[in-house]
Amino acid sequence: MTKWVYTFGQGEAEGGSDLKNLLGGKGGNLAEMARLGLPVPPGFTITTEVCTYFYNNGKQFPVDLAEAVESALGFISGVTGRTYGDAQSPLLVSARSGARASMPGMMDTVLNLGLNDITVEALAENSGDARFAYDSYRRFIQMYANVVLGIEHHIFETILEYYKQNKGIALDTELTEGGWRAIVAEFKARFEKIQGRPFPQDPREQLWGAIGAVFESWMNPRAVAYRWLHDIPAAYGTAVTIQAMVFGNMGETSATGVAFTRNPSTGAKELYGEFLLNAQGEDVVAGLRTPQNITEAARIAGRSQDPSMESLLPDAYAELTSVMAHLEAHYRDMQDVEFTVERGKLWMLQSRSGKRTSKAALRIAVEMTNEGLIGKPEAIASIDPLSLEQLLHPALDPRAARQIVATGLPASPGAASGEIVFCASDAEQLKSAGRKVILVRIETSPEDILGMHAAEGILTTRGGMTSHAAVVARGMGKPCVSGAGTIRVNYAKETMTAAGVTFRKGDMLTIDGATGQVLKGAVEMHQPELSGEFTILMEWADAVRRMGVRANADTPRDARVARKFGAEGIGLCRTEHMFFEGERIVMVREMILAEDEAGRRAALAKLLPIQRADFTELFEIMAGLPVTIRLLDPPLHEFLPRSRDEIAAVAEAMSVSPEKLTQRAAELQEYNPMLGFRGCRLAIVFPEIAEMQARAIFEGAVAVKRKTGVAARVEIMTPLVIGKEEFDRIKAQVEKVALAVAAEATETIDYSFGTMIETPRACLRAGELAQTAEFFSFGTNDLTQTCLALSRDDAGSFLGEYVAKGILPANPFATIDQEGVGEFIEIAVARGRQSRPEIKIGICGEHAGDPASIAFFQDVGLSYVSCSPFRVPIARLAAAQAALAAKAAT
C-alpha cells in the first residue's frame, strides 16, 4: 500500500527535508523543524504522489486517502486536544500548497478550515474573545469562497469597505465583535446569492473542497507560467499540508510576520523582517496595513515611529532569534521564515532558503565560509554563475525616476542611453561625431554590424534571445533589448511609437538589458563596483577549476575589461572588428573592391601600420598572456559601402567612378554568404590579406618586446578550415612572413599556429589537422550552424517551436547541442589528441559563457573556454562548479 500521508508535530515527524520530492519544500521543512524540536503546530502532508494520481485519474483521489487523512486528523487531535468539527472544542486547520521547487505565492492556501455557525461560537467561548472568532470566520468565508469556488475577493472587500464607511471606521482593527458578526452575516448572504446555496457548514466538505482546490492550483495559469519560466516540470506536482491553526489575530499580544536570517539585499548578518500585531497569514505582504520592524536596530535605522517586535513582544522575539539561528546553522544557508505569535507564544510556520540579490549571495557565501558554517566548495556551489551578470554591467540607478514605454526581452545585459537612430549608417556617423546612440531596428542583419558596433545599445521590436541582434550584442558586450513588440517603428518617417509616445530620431532613449525595459530619456546609471567578497569567491573558484578561462576581445578596451575580470589570455581576437573603426573602413573597402592584386596590395599597405599598432597595444595590455588572433573571417561584402555617401567616399579614395564601384560591389554579393567566400577561403584566394595580417602581428610582437621587454605570446589561427591541405598552405604563408620579419628585425619570433574547428569535416579530419596544427579552437557558433544546417540568423521563426515541442532540449545556439555538435567535438578532441597528445584545445563560441555548456566542455577534456569579457567571471565560476561536480561524481 502506498503511504499517502506523513504526520509531523511535537518533536517528531514521519519525514523531513530529505523527503522534499514527496512532501514538497514546505511540508518537508515543517516536518524537519518539528523533528528539531522547534515550535511547529502539528499537522500532516498529503504527498505529491497524490497530486500525480489526482491528475492521472480524472481528478479523483486514491480510495484509501480518506482513511489516512482521518487518522492523521486524529494525530493532530492527540497533540492539541481539539477535534476537527467538534462543537465544544473544535480544531481548525489550514490547507497549504508546496512543491519541491519553491513557487512563492503561485498556488493557494486556505486558513481557518473547520469554522461554521456552531464552531465559531465554541472558538469564541474557548478563547474568551468573540471578536477574534468572528474575525477568523469572515476571513475564512472570503478565502474559501475565493480559493475553492473562484468568487472574487473584491466582492467581499467591497462589503467590508462599505460597512466601515457607514460606521466611520478607518482600520479593520477598530471593528468590534458586533461589527464582525454583521460582516459575517452579510458575507454569508452574499455567498448564498451568488452560489444559490448556503455557505458550506460541513467541516469535512470544507476540508476536501480545500484539498481539491490546492491540488487544482498546481495547474492555475500563474503556476503554469512560473514553472515555464523556471524550468520546473509539471510532473513534480504539489503536496498539500494540513496544519493546526495558530492565531496571530488573538489581540494585542498576538502577531504574524516574516523574517530572513540575513539581509537579502546586502547580505549583512542581521535579522531582517517585518510583522503585524493582531493579524493573520498574509496580512503582512498584502499591504493593507504598514508592517512594523522586528528589531529595534532596524526601526531606528528606518526612523519608524511604530514599536518593534523586540520591544513589544520581547520573549517571543528572543525565541525567534534563537530559532532562526538554529535553522540557519541546521540548513547551512540563509533562511526565510514565516511565524505567528499567539498570545505571546511563538510558532514557526515555514522555513526555506531565502532568495537574495547576487551581491548578497556573494557576501553570505564568503561570510558563512569564514564562520565555518559551510566549506569553500559549498560557497562556490551556492552562487548561480549567471546571477553575477547583475554585478558586472553598468546598471540603472534604482533611485532614478523611470518612465517605461515598453518592455522587451533582456537580450544582453547592461544599460545604455543615447540618441535614437534607425539605421546603421546614422549610428556610425553620429558615433564618429562623438555622440552616443541607441540603434533601433525592427530586426538587425549582418549588414547592420558596423552600426551595432557604433551604438551604445541596440533595441529591436522583433526577434528573441538568440536573434541576430541578441547574439551579436552579447558578443560585443553591449546592452540589447530584443523583441519589444509593442513598439512601432516607421523607418520612412524615422519615428517610433511606444506607449502612446512618439519618438523621433535624435530623441534620448534608455534601454535596460537586464530587465528588457525601454525608458524615455536618459536615466541615471552607476558603474559596477566589485566587492571584496566577489574577489575572494573568484579566487576560491580559480583554485578548484581545471579549465582555463580566456576572453574574446577585439579592442584594447575589451582586453582591459577582460583582464580586470580575470581572463588568462585572449582566446579570440576577431581582426575584422579592428577594421570597423573610424577612417579605416574606407581603406578596407578599397582593399575589397580592388580589381587586382596590385590594387589590393596598395590598400593593404595603408592598413598595415594601423593593424600593427592595434596588435602592439593589445600585446602590451596582455603582457605575456596568450593572445589568439584569428585571420580575417567574414564574407567581404559585410564591409561594403551601401549608402550613396559611402560609395562616393570610397570611389574618391580609389579614383574610380561611383558606378564602377557599385557594379563591383554587386559582383561580390552572395546567395548564401554564411557558406560562401569567407573564412580561410579568403586567405587561399587572396594570400596577400593573410600576409599583411601576419606581418602586422609579428611586427607588433617585435615592437612590444622592444618597448616593454615582455615577449607577447602569439597564437594565430585560421577560421573555417575543412582539412589539412587548406590549413598547411596558409600555415606556410604565415611562416614565410615570420621568417622575413625575424630577419628584418634580427629577432626570433615565437608563435604557434592553429586552427579553428567549425565544420563537421574539420572535426572528422582532426587527426590529420593536428599533425601540423599546434592548437584547436572550436568555433561552436559556426559548428552548430554547419552541423545542424541551421542558420542562426534565420532560425528565430521556428526554433522556439522546436524547443517548445521538445524536439530540441534547448536552443542550440545558447546551450551546446551535446548529442549532435557535442559528438563532433568529442571526435575532434579524440582524433586531435591521438596525433598530438599535448595539443591545447579551447572553445571560443558563445557557448563558452554558458554554464551548462561549460560543464560539458570540461567533461570532454577541453583546455580552456574563451567568452566575452563580461562573461569571464561567470565562466570562472561555472568552470569551478563543473570541476567540483566532476570530483563529487567520481
Length of the chain: 890
**Residue 779 interacting with Mg ion (CB under 5 A):** yes
Query: Catalytic: 330?
Result: no
- Sequence-distant (6+) residues with CB within 8 A of 628 are 550, 569, 570, 571, 572, 573, 715, 716, 717, 754, 775, 777, 842, 844, 866
Report in angstroms how near the CB of residue 252 gets to ligand ADP at its nearest: 18
Cell for 815?
546551450
From the list Mg ion, ligand ADP, none, partner contacted by residue 782 (C-beta under 5 to 8 A by kind): Mg ion
Residues binding Mg ion: number (CB under 5 A): 4
Report in angstroms how near the CB of residue 572 gets to ligand ADP at its nearest: 46
From the list Mg ion, ligand ADP, none, partner contacted by residue 569 (C-beta under 5 to 8 A by kind): none
CA atoms within 13 A on the CB side of 726: 21
Alpha helices in 446-572 (DSSP H): 449-454, 468-476, 532-544, 556-564
Cell for 233?
516540470
Nearer to ligand ADP, 7 or 109 (CB): 109
Taking CB under 5 A as the binding criterion, the range among 301-309, 697-705, 753-761, 801-809 that sits at the site for Mg ion is 753-761
Report in angstroms how near the CB of residue 217 gets to ligand ADP at its nearest: 10
Taking CB under 6 A as the binding criterion, the range among 154-162, 213-221, 244-252, 389-397 that sits at the site for ligand ADP is 244-252
Taking CB under 5 A as the binding criterion, the range among 165-173, 427-435, 526-534, 777-785 that sits at the site for Mg ion is 777-785
- Sequence-distant (6+) residues with CB within 8 A of 541 are 380, 876, 877, 879, 880, 881
Contact criterion met (CB below 8 Å) for 463 and 408: no
Q: What are residue 671's DSSP bridge partners?
A: none
Report in angstroms how near the CB of residue 633 gets to Mg ion at its nearest: 6
x/- map, 406-425, Mg ion, by CB under 5 A: --------------------
Among 11, 37, 105, 375, binds ligand ADP (CB under 6 A): 105
Report in angstroms how near the CB of residue 351 gets to ligand ADP at its nearest: 11
**Residue 28 interacting with Mg ion (CB under 5 A):** no
**Residue 281 interacting with ligand ADP (CB under 6 A):** yes
Question: Which candidate in 680, 763, 787, 844 is catalytic?
Answer: 844
Helix (H) or strand (E) holding 184: helix 177-195
The amino acid present at 611, given as its one-letter code, is Q
Nearer to ligand ADP, 340 or 866 (CB): 340
- Sequence-distant (6+) residues with CB within 8 A of 166 are none
The amino acid present at 349, given as its one-letter code, is L
Classify residue 473 by burial, with Cβ atoms within 10 Å: 0-12, 13-18, 19+: buried
Q: Which of residues 61-80 bind ligand ADP (CB under 6 A)?
A: none
Report in angstroms how near the CB of residue 642 gets to ligand ADP at its nearest: 56
Report in angstroms how near the CB of residue 801 gets to ligand ADP at its nearest: 34
Taking CB under 5 A as the binding criterion, the range among 371-379, 440-448, 520-528, 750-758 that sits at the site for Mg ion is 750-758
Please report, to the nearest 10 degrees, the dihedral formed by the alpha carbons of residues 460, 463, 468, 473 taken in order: 50
Nearer to Mg ion, 283 or 758 (CB): 758
Alpha helices in 481-583 (DSSP H): 532-544, 556-564, 576-579
Report in angstroms how near the CB of residue 74 gets to ligand ADP at its nearest: 18
**Residue 869 interacting with Mg ion (CB under 5 A):** no
**Residue 782 interacting with Mg ion (CB under 5 A):** yes
Q: Is the Cα torsion angle 608, 613, 618, 624 positive or negative in sign? A: positive
Query: Catalytic: 844?
Result: yes
**Residue 243 interacting with ligand ADP (CB under 6 A):** yes
Give the pairing of strands 480-482 and 457-460.
Answer: parallel
Residue 389's Cα: distance from chain center in Å? 8
Cα distance between residue 323 and residue 490, in whole Å: 61
Taking CB under 5 A as the binding criterion, the range among 319-327, 348-356, 558-566, 791-799 that sits at the site for Mg ion is 348-356
Cell for 268?
549583512
x/- map, 349-388, Mg ion, by CB under 5 A: -x--------------------------------------
Q: Which of residues 307-326 bind Mg ion (CB under 5 A)?
A: none
From the list ligand ADP, Mg ion, none, partner contacted by residue 245 (C-beta under 5 to 8 A by kind): ligand ADP
Cα distances (Å, whole numbers) of residue 125 to 131, 551, 737:
11, 72, 99
Among 41, 410, 634, 754, binds ligand ADP (CB under 6 A): 41
From the list ligand ADP, Mg ion, none, partner contacted by residue 109 (C-beta under 5 to 8 A by kind): ligand ADP
Nearer to ligand ADP, 133 or 631 (CB): 133
Among 47, 94, 466, 510, binds ligand ADP (CB under 6 A): 94
Cell for 886?
566532476
Nearer to ligand ADP, 344 or 582 (CB): 344
Residues binding ligand ADP: number (CB under 6 A): 16
Cell for 251?
489581540
- Sequence-distant (6+) residues with CB within 8 A of 228 are none
Taking CB under 6 A as the binding criterion, the range among 47-55, 105-113, 632-640, 830-838 that sits at the site for ligand ADP is 105-113
**Residue 146 interacting with ligand ADP (CB under 6 A):** no
Report in angstroms how near the CB of residue 638 gets to Mg ion at its nearest: 13
The amino acid present at 554, given as its one-letter code, is D
**Residue 635 interacting with ligand ADP (CB under 6 A):** no
Cα distance between residue 670 and residue 637, in whole Å: 8
x/- map, 756-775, Mg ion, by CB under 5 A: --x-----------------
Taking CB under 6 A as the binding criterion, the range among 238-246, 397-405, 463-471, 619-627 that sits at the site for ligand ADP is 238-246
Taking CB under 6 A as the binding criterion, the range among 104-112, 529-537, 605-613, 629-637 that sits at the site for ligand ADP is 104-112
Q: What's the alpha-carbon Rg for the chain, to the nearest Å? A: 33
* C-alpha triplet 575, 630, 691: angle, nearest 5°: 80
Cα distances (Å, whole numbers) of residue 577 to 318, 765, 864:
62, 29, 23
Dihedral-angle region of residue 134 (phi above 0 means left; psi in -120 to 50 means alpha; beta otherwise): alpha
x/- map, 306-345, ligand ADP, by CB under 6 A: --------------------------------x-x-----
From the list Mg ion, ligand ADP, none, partner contacted by residue 232 (C-beta under 5 to 8 A by kind): none
Report DSSP state, residue 749: -
Q: What are residue 337's DSSP bridge partners?
A: 259, 351
Cα distance between residue 533 and residue 458, in whole Å: 32
Question: Which candidate in 468, 577, 637, 847 is catalytic?
Answer: 468
- Residue whose CB is nearest to Mg ion in the complex, by number: 782
Residue where the block lists cell 467591497: 158
**Residue 349 interacting with ligand ADP (CB under 6 A):** yes
**Residue 809 interacting with ligand ADP (CB under 6 A):** no
Q: Which of 433, 426, 478, 481 is nearest to 448 (CA)?
A: 426
Write the DSSP assignment of 255-310 as a string of letters. EEEEEESS-TTT--SS-EEEEEES--TTHHHHTSSPPEESSHHHHHHTT--SPPHH
Report in angstroms how near the CB of residue 800 gets to Mg ion at its nearest: 24
Q: Which of residues 604-623 bind Mg ion (CB under 5 A)?
A: none
Among 19, 246, 650, 702, binds ligand ADP (CB under 6 A): 246
**Residue 638 interacting with Mg ion (CB under 5 A):** no
Report in angstroms how near the CB of residue 174 gets to ligand ADP at its nearest: 23
Residue 421's Cα: distance from chain center in Å? 29
The amino acid present at 131, given as its one-letter code, is R
Catalytic residues: 468, 844
- Site of interaction with ligand ADP (CB under 6 A): 41, 94, 96, 105, 109, 111, 243-246, 281-282, 338, 340, 349-350
Residues that bind Mg ion (CB under 5 A): 350, 758, 779, 782
